A and B are shown apart, each in its own frame.
Chain A
Amino acid sequence: MVRVAVVGGGLFRPDRVRYEVAEEGVAEAYRMLLEDTPELDPRDIEFVQCSYFSDHLNQQLCMSWIIQDYIGQHRKGGYRVEAGGSTPLDAIINAYFLIRSGEFDLVLVAGWEWMSEVDTATTNEFIASASDTDWDFTVGGYYNGYYAALELRHMQLYGETVEDLGMLAVRNRNNAVHNPYSQWRAEHGTSYVTLDDYFNDRIVAWPYRRWNCALISEGAAVLLLASERVARKYSDSPMWIRGIGLGTDSMRPGDRLANWAYKGVFPDCEAIYPSFIEKPLTPYPEMANFGFAREAARQAYVKAGISNPVRELDIAELFAPYDGVEICLYEDLMWCPRGEGKRMVREGIVMRGGELPCQLSGGLTAFAHPVGATSLLQTLFLYWELTEQIPKKFGDPKLQVSGAEKALITGHGGTGCQGGVIIFSR
């Protein structure tokens, strides 16, 4: 089967409010791609894979039709995928499938989200309608609360502390100040923050403070994906997709206590369970871990030939709308055994300069989280990393991991209801 690469991309700088509308934002991101890729004739693009999450937020169905014609890419094929927070990752993976099947050689992935046309509480409500509205939503639930409850379970079982969450919040901000496209830098400038600052930040859903939570953003990004037949026409240094994996879990997190689809599939994870708490019928992932990620990582590592992820990967961008998610993902991505995620933080492995730095971009809590564009922004960041373009693109070399060869990205939607993993390499 044909190999697939990312050969370029562009972004429209995300911020809390952008006054340009989505099609204008996508057009700006597309213009950045065209400026960086002079060899690209827009007519070469064969298919447009669109990515946006919410129909509610902008009072507009079928927005991808507006986007595709606005940038003059209509006539050829195109459609949207949608799966909450997983949307942009699924869009990349779908574009990969389209090319890998041999059907297309050049696909544009376009993603965006405009999230501030309603007030903050309503934005949260609209997003929360991606949870089960008959059950989880009705008791005052929204994602801050769901994820806080998930993290609390993990924290109780495996002993990370609020300070561990704080170290991740501080790391994300102190990375984001070096990213001139980050929302944190737009709102707070370029000074570093400390753990004391974190503890002064307000709790919104214990154990989470505001700084632990994803941003509300408006922004866009595009990626150009190409087959190996044409990749080198557009880029001297394509970023190859070495492996992908997909996974799902139950819609309602409370159902994961009797999670028959997972029973017996990951017996080593089921066995690591503290004795002081009663085990649910199915102890993995239950409400403490992300089974979709374990399933997806298993597939992706096999395809990419990765046996020791921490040693073999050089950089990762995780989908962590809340900082505790990251601690769980270290375990579910098999970087460490279940329950030892906190060690990755405390030993500095995932920090800037560590063995496997994560969220150098600032991630969802300090770079941005315009849902339909988020994984595209993170992938573009990884592309700039693996092609050593960070100093040029950011005007600051601080975030460049010198000589980075292999990268991982993961994305997911809901409370880990659906997601995937992609492994990239130079």
Chain B
Amino acid sequence: MDGRRVRERIVEDRVSEVLREWEEYARRGNLRVRGYQIVRGPAGNTRVGEEEEDEFLIVYRPHGVLYHHSLGRVSKFFKGLIEGKLYGTKCPICGTVYCPPRAHCWNPDCRAQPTEWVELPKKGRVHTFSIMLFSADAFLDQLPFILGYVQIDGAHTALPIQILAPPTHVWIGQEVKIKFREERRGELMDIYAVPIPGQKPPEWSCLHRDPRALKDLERDLEKVYKFLEERFGIKKDDVVKRWEEALRE
């Protein structure tokens, strides 16, 4: 046991399998060279097109780590996700409701006042969003997805959250419900937002009033579906079904 963790008492442990997996990974060794290439490539500090060529040795060496990270005094928010509840914090002085929660109020008038927990309703409004057609490795198989910032009803700040809906069925001001995934582990991906049914985009929605934007999005979404099929064997129909199911629930 780490020295740092001597005084703690484990209340619930859902990590042993992961620790075994990572122990094996760590034994492969960080920074140890696993292989190499010799390449010829451009060299020298010149303008474009005036380079010389040289031979370079490229070594391949891994680096992987497993962190144990406390979520601090806002752990209750993430425990709430596991329990199927949505919490924010409220400053007893200025009344600001934070979701994401802050354990201390950041209003200069409140002098770092500790906040109080409040349970929030599982609905809110889209403050802004982006339609993601490319992502980091861990999310590639979930493309295309909507990265949203949702203001939970009763909160004054916006929570980062994925919105599960057809990629062009989203707009600023849209009302959403917050849903919980079956399997949860205390992170924001435990929840997602779905549009409350029956809403139509307002005529001022910058995406929907631009026919070219919608057409270009459709064009490039097809490229994403093709990528999903080639890389992961995921069919477009299955992706569409995911959104339909989310909207129906």
Interface residues of A (CB under 8 A from B): 11-13, 15, 17, 19-20, 25, 28-29, 31-32, 59, 121-122, 124-125, 128, 134-136, 138-142, 144-146, 148-150, 152-153, 155-156, 159, 161-162, 180-182, 185-186, 199, 202-208, 252-258, 260-261, 276-278, 280-281, 287, 395
Q: Please give the number of chain B residues whose Cβ is less than 8 angstroms from any Cβ of chain A in the complex.
A: 69
Q: Which of A141, A150, A202, A260 contacts B107 (CB 8 A)?
A: A260
In whole angstroms, what is the CA distance A17 to B106 when docked?
43
Docked pose: A162 CA to B213 CA in angstroms? 8
User: Which residues of B are in contact with A by a Cβ distance under 8 Å?
Assistant: 31, 39, 41-49, 54, 56, 61, 63, 69, 71, 94, 96, 98, 100, 106-109, 127-140, 142, 145, 147-149, 151, 156-162, 172-173, 187-189, 202, 204-207, 210, 212-213, 216-217, 220, 223
**Contacting pair B149 A253 (CB below 8 A):** yes
Complex CA distance for A71 and B216, rounded to whole angstroms: 50
Q: Which residues from chain B contact A159 at a C-beta distance below 8 Å?
A: 206
Question: Are B128 and A181 closer than 8 Å at their CB atoms?
Answer: no
Q: Assess whether B142 is in contact with A140, with CB atoms less than 8 Å apart.
A: yes
Residue pair A260, B109 in contact (C-beta under 8 Å): yes
Given contacts A142-B135, A149-B147, A253-B149, 13 further A-B contacts (CB under 8 A): A121-B137, A128-B136, A134-B71, A139-B162, A148-B130, A149-B129, A159-B206, A162-B212, A181-B48, A202-B223, A255-B100, A255-B157, A260-B94
Establish whether residues B156 and A205, one from each chain, have CB atoms under 8 Å apart when the complex forms. no
Contact of B212 with A254 in the complex, beta carbons under 8 Å: no
The interface residues of chain B lying within 8 Å CB-to-CB of A208 are: 130
Question: Which A residue sits closest to B106, measured CB to CB?
Answer: A260
Task: Kindly provide the distance from the CB of B110 to the nearest chain A CB, expressed in whole angstroms.
Answer: 8
Contact A140 B136, beta carbon cutoff 8 Å: yes
Given contacts A139-B160, A202-B220, A206-B133, contact A152 B142 (CB under 8 A): no
Instruction: Give chain B residues whose Cβ lies under 8 Å from the Cβ of A28.
Output: 44-45
Taking CB atoms, residues of chain B closer than 8 Å to A161 are: 206, 210
B202: which A residues are within 8 A, CB to CB? Answer: 276
Question: 13 pairs across A/B with beta carbons < 8 Å?
Answer: A12-B45, A13-B48, A134-B71, A135-B188, A140-B136, A142-B135, A152-B172, A180-B49, A205-B132, A253-B149, A254-B127, A255-B158, A257-B127
Is A254 a contact partner of B159 (Cβ separation < 8 A)? yes
Q: A141-B160, A257-B158 are in contact. Are A276 and B48 (CB under 8 A)?
A: no
